[in-house]
Structure 1
C-alpha cells in the first residue's frame, strides 16, 4: 500500500511542473511592469522519521525535484533500509547524478547536514525536541525550514453523530501504523447523550483488532511498535493515566507474544484535561475518552493543547460542523471521516508543535524562492 501510494504521489506532483506560475504586476511608475518569477531554492535537506520510511521520501523528494532543486535525504537510524531500497530504484532512472542523494547515520549526521551553509532549505518530520534542535542548528545560516513536529488530534462525537461511522473511523484512525502517526485520532470528546453507547462500541471494536505479524497473515490489522523503548513509553503513559484516575475499558498492557513489540489496543474512559494522556502525544494504540456536555466545551478542550495538526468532528448537523471548523485551532479538520490527508490537499498545522506541510498544490511553493524584476519600457 505504501509503495503504491508513493508512486501515485510522485505522479501527482509531477503534474505540477506545468502549473508553477509567476505574475505580471502593474507598477506605480509609468511604462514599467513588475515581473514575479518562481525560482529553485537550491539544495534541500529532507530529514525523515521512522514511522513512514518509504512514502515520506517521496513527500520530500517530489516537490523538491519538480521545482528544480536537488535533495539530500537523511533517513532515521531506526529504519534506513527503506531509503536504501528507494535509492536503488532512483538509480535505475535517468535522473542525473547528484540530484537525489542519501546520507545515513545518527543525530550527528543530521546535525552536520542542518548546519551546513550549502543547504538552502530543510524539510523535517519528527519530534518537537529534534525540530527545536534543527532550528538552532539552522539559525546561523538563516536556512529556510519546513517542519512537521507532532500531533494530538482530537475527535469530537456529538449526540447526533452516526455512531457506527464514528466508531469505525476513529478506531481506524487510532490503530493505523499501530497508532504511530502524527495525525492519528489521539483523544475523543464524546457528548453525554451518546457517551455510553460510543464507549461500549469503540471498546468492542478495539478488543477485536487483529494484531500480529502482517508479513505472515494478510488479515492482520495492526503490527508492532517500532522498538522496546517505544513500547515502554506507551505502557508508562497508560499507567500514568490510570494512576491519575482513568478507567481501563480494554487492553492496557504489553501483549504476550513470543516476538515483536506489541501493545494491546487500549481504551481509557473517565479521562479529563488534568491527565497527561489528554495533552501529550502517545505513539501507540491507546484511545483516551472524555465526556462533554456541549460542542463549545469540546472545542475548548480540543484547543487546550500545544499541538495543532489534525482534528475531526462527527455530526449530522452541517452548521455545527462549520462552527467547529471555524473555531478549532488545527491545520486540518475532518468531518465524518478518518484522519488522513489527501495528496491534492494541504497537509499543514498551526501552533508551535503542529507546524508542517509541504504537500499538495500550495505546499509546492515552499520549495521555490521568489524573484521580482522591475522592467521600465
Structure 2
C-alpha cells in the first residue's frame, strides 16, 4: 500500500506526483515531531485506559498520523476542523495542549470540556477545532455548516471535514455533498480509509471501490492519496485547499491509511491477520518513512533522538497533569450544557 502509486483523478483534476514534493529539512523535522507526538500520546492514552483511568470509549490514531499532519501543514489561522471519534490526532496536530487533551480523556477538571466530554467530545474555539463526534457521519453535515459560515462572512477560510470509510456511505454524507456542491462551499471532505469500519472490511461494506469518486455525481473533484506518506498528503492538500480558497466549491480526498490498533480499546481486532498489521508496521510506517528521509538528507540520528526525548517529556507531563488534576465538582454537571437564546 505505502509505496504503490495510489493517486487518482476525478472531474478533470490534474494528478500531482509525490516526486514533486518540496519539503525542506525543517518541514520534515516539523512533520516528524508532530507525528511522533501523536504516536507517543496515543500509546500513553492506551496505557491509561488499561489502568482504568480513562472511562468510556477510546479510539486511538496510531498508524494514521501522516494524514492529519500533512493536511495541517497547509492550513492557516481561521481554517476550521471537525472530525469523528478517532480525534486525538487532529487535536494535537491543530496545536491543542496535550495536557488539556489528556485531562479530558481522564475526565478531569483541567480538560478541554472540563472533564465532561471525554474522548469523543473535545472542542477548542481558539484552534478552530469543532469536535470529535460520536454519531457516525454526523460531523460531515456540521462541517459544511462551518464552510457555509466561512463563505457567508466573505473569507477564504476552508473547512476540513474528516470521516472514515465506514461513514462514507451514510445518507447525510451524500446530502452534504449535494449542498456543498450546490452552494460551492469551501469544504475539503477527507475520507480516512483505514480499511476497517469497526470490524468490517471496506471490501465487504462498500459497493463503491473508488471512494475518491463518490462526489462525482455532484461534480466534486476527488483524489486518492497514499495516507501513509506525509509528503503525498501535503501535496494533495495543497491542491484541494487551493481549489476551495478560489471559490470553486468542495473537494474530496480519500486517504488510504491504516490503524495498527483495534477500532477502539475494547476491540481485539481478530478479524484481520497479525501478519497484515506487521507488514504495514514494517514496510509502510509513516514515521519511519520520514525518519529515513531525514537521515538521508544529512540529519544526525542524535538530533532525531533529541526530538523523541522532547516528545516523551511532553507526554509524561501531560499524563502527570491529567492524573493530578481534580475531578469536576458535581455543580459542573449543569454548566456548558444548554445555551438559552
* Greater helix share, structure number: 2
* Greater strand share, structure number: 1
**Quick check: which has more Rg, 1 or 2?**
1
TM-score normalised over the length of structure 2: 0.27
TM-score normalised over the length of structure 1: 0.25
